[in-house]
Amino acid sequence: MNPIWTLLPPLLVIPFIIGFGERFRNLREASIIIAGIWLLYLNNQLYNQFVAGNAITSGELPLLAHFSLKLSVEPMGLVFGLLASFLWVVTTVYSIGYMRGHDEKNQTRFYVCFSLAIAGVMGAAYADNLLTLFVAYEAITIATFPLVTHAGTQKAQNAGRLYLGLLMSGSIALLLPAMIWVATAAHTLDFVPGGVLSDVGLSQSATAVLLALFVFGTGKAAIMPMHRWLPAAMVAPTPVSALLHAVAVVKTGVFVLLKVVTYTFGIDMLSTTAAAQYLLPVAAFTVVASSIVAFTKDNLKARLAYSTISQLSYIIMAALLATTMSVTGGVFHIVTHAFGKITLFFCAGAIMVASHKTEISQMKGLGKTMPITMGAFLIGALSIIGLPPAAGMWSKLFIAGGSLEANNLIWIAVLMLSTVLNIAYLMPIAINAFFEPNKPSDQSGAPLANEWQEAPFASLWAIVVTSSVCILLFLFPQPLMSLIGSIQWR
């Protein structure tokens, strides 16, 4: 099967979304779910064919003289594609509940941009070369921009400006020259196992500069100081935040870095030279600093945003450590963090819809009225922290193992410090929800009701699905592990 078919469902559903519009919203949302399931099926087909050992590529579209757009299937992209298509279905179900419960405006536009972004993600996941990946990266930026400014308020517009400004300027001023540099030095932009830069005579400092262009130019990976857009983008509706944080945007960023490290530089090249050593401290600083900032935020979504920045830098660290184990951990962490963080965001949205609370200090005792939501929150939090019985443990273990493999114990210390901070900023929310008494909230003065007051069923269903995946992946990591294990390192 041609991987280009994966672009079809999210693009084909757009005329249906517009056609059904606000008048037939059940049909509109049904069409999205059908497209999502179709996409998941296609990705699963690709997975089966890949496991069967077939080489799967698309045709070429020569965009520039020697460089063309092309798609092909390899393990890392397959993980990302499967993840994104699965979460698209779940997020759509969730947003049906959320958007209606919250009575959002312009839902048609919201779903159209959402589908476009998913098409972009599919293009990124199966990109066969750097040019294709860059094109998809830009497409995602443009497609998600209207989602960030969805609310239409002054704050949303400012966030939109920052979002587009940082991501687009970063990609054009840093990522584009990095790509052209690779094209000039290696005369190819293809992703080749073992990399294309090992024998083109780049000096160590040149390699370090090139790597830095990639790391900072990929603004979606949100390494400090390119992270400002992420907390600002929190003004978007919660399903968007969930999509941005768990799948489409930020994961594309770290995915670019993992791909580049593995298939453009080659992990051997990076682990034998010291090029990456200059950047590891920046990533480590981001891990710790954003965890500390998260600790100071009382708004739940803001706290989760800073937590995302920190978790993304785990993956950047994993890429920069450039050992087989650390990169494996990095790819794994894309998945585990996606499920953990999307669960937390879903919970944040559910709390907002059901009890209109956004600040953490108001959420004490919420476990009594929203036990399912808060239970799922606990599981998501455990996964982010990296404790059993949640999947986050595995990926964190691998990244730590990677830094052992690189003989660098200091990065383990960073990981552990961050884990402690994770516990400190996530666990109290869940603990207070269950063990604190129901206090009258400051704003309304009325005590919380004692009966269940959960979010709409559709949203609740999505929360249950993602949180159970967190546990399932802890119990059965094997299929995912073997898929990641089939990456050709050299």
Measured from the CB atom, the residue of 62 and 440 that comes closer to other proteins is 62
Measured from the CB atom, the residue of 213 and 414 that comes closer to other proteins is 213
CB atoms within 10 A of CB 2: 14
CB of 154 to other proteins, least distance (A): 9
> Binders of other proteins among 313-342, rule CB under 8 A?
none
For other proteins, the binding residue among 5, 181, 434, 461 (CB under 8 A) is 181
How is residue 481 written in tokens? 């592990």
Alpha carbon distance 178, 180 (integer Å): 5
134 binds other proteins (CB under 8 A): yes
Alpha carbon distance 11, 34 (integer Å): 13
467 binds other proteins (CB under 8 A): no
Q: Is 401 helix (H, G, I), strand (E, B) or coil?
A: helix
CB of 256 to other proteins, least distance (A): 14
62 binds other proteins (CB under 8 A): yes
Candidates 99-107, 131-139, 190-198, 311-319: pick the segment binding other proteins (CB under 8 A).
131-139
CA dihedral 7, 246, 91, 75 (to 10 degrees): 40
CB of 153 to other proteins, least distance (A): 10
φ and ψ of 52, to 5 deg: -70, -10
Q: Is 446 helix (H, G, I), strand (E, B) or coil?
A: coil
CB atoms within 10 A of CB 144: 28
Contact 372, 464 (CB under 8 A): yes
- Cα dist. 50→10, 57, 123, 282, 352 in Å? 22, 11, 17, 36, 42
The angle formed by the CA atoms of residues 329, 335 and 340, to the nearest 5 degrees, is 110
Candidates 172-180, 285-293, 342-350, 422-430: pick the segment binding other proteins (CB under 8 A).
172-180
Sign of the alpha-carbon dihedral angle for 43, 44, 49, 53:
positive
Whether the bond between 389 and the residue before it is cis, its omega within 30 degrees of 0, is: yes
Whether the bond between 225 and the residue before it is cis, its omega within 30 degrees of 0, is: yes
Contact 395, 337 (CB under 8 A): yes
For other proteins, the binding residue among 18, 19, 48, 173 (CB under 8 A) is 173
Measured from the CB atom, the residue of 163 and 345 that comes closer to other proteins is 163
For other proteins, the binding residue among 22, 24, 48, 184 (CB under 8 A) is 184
| Residue from 303, 208, 313, 310 nearest 254 by CA | 313
CB of 249 to other proteins, least distance (A): 17
Measured from the CB atom, the residue of 58 and 419 that comes closer to other proteins is 58
Count of residues that bind other proteins according to CB under 8 A:
28
126 binds other proteins (CB under 8 A): no
For other proteins, the binding residue among 53, 65, 442, 451 (CB under 8 A) is 65
For other proteins, the binding residue among 135, 212, 431, 481 (CB under 8 A) is 135
Per-residue x/- track, 67-106, other proteins (CB under 8 A)? -x--------------------------------------
Candidates 64-72, 221-229, 417-425, 463-471: pick the segment binding other proteins (CB under 8 A).
64-72
In the chain, how long is the greatest CA-to-CA distance? Answer: 70
Residues that bind other proteins (CB under 8 A): 61-65, 68, 134-135, 138-139, 142, 149, 152, 157, 160-161, 164-165, 168-169, 172-173, 176-177, 180-181, 183-184
